[in-house]
Structure 1
Amino acid sequence: MNTINASHDLANVSFSRDELLVLNAALNEICNGVDVFEFETRIGADREFVTGLLQGIGSVLDDMDQLSS
């Protein structure tokens, strides 16, 4: 992961495909694989937000797959 720039509320970062795959797998496990008691308290965001993040990362990975074929 490389930080491109960052401010108090926003960061632009660059992730390798492998890094995105790890994030995707971790978020998928959190959202779908285990029952997290007090999800929002423990994760720091509600399940809907995290599921949206998971979908966004999945879309980026899909785009990367299309570019490589």
Structure 2
Amino acid sequence: MSESEKKTEVKERWSDGLKQEFNKISWLPAKTVGKQTAAVVVVSVIVGIIIAILDRFIQYGIDYLTGL
């Protein structure tokens, strides 16, 4: 068996194994994924707003203390 034939055989076995593993995956329904994505985006925006507000207050406090 030549070197190229061995490589081809290994690639075929690898791709067969990959196909078998993909068949084991249980995919969530698109509606569920959409809801979860929306929840992540909403929570991320809310956390970003909270961090921005805290940053403003902290910066105000630091400016006040350094201005004394």
TM-score calculated relative to the size of structure 2: 0.35
Larger fraction in strand: 1
Larger fraction in helix: 2
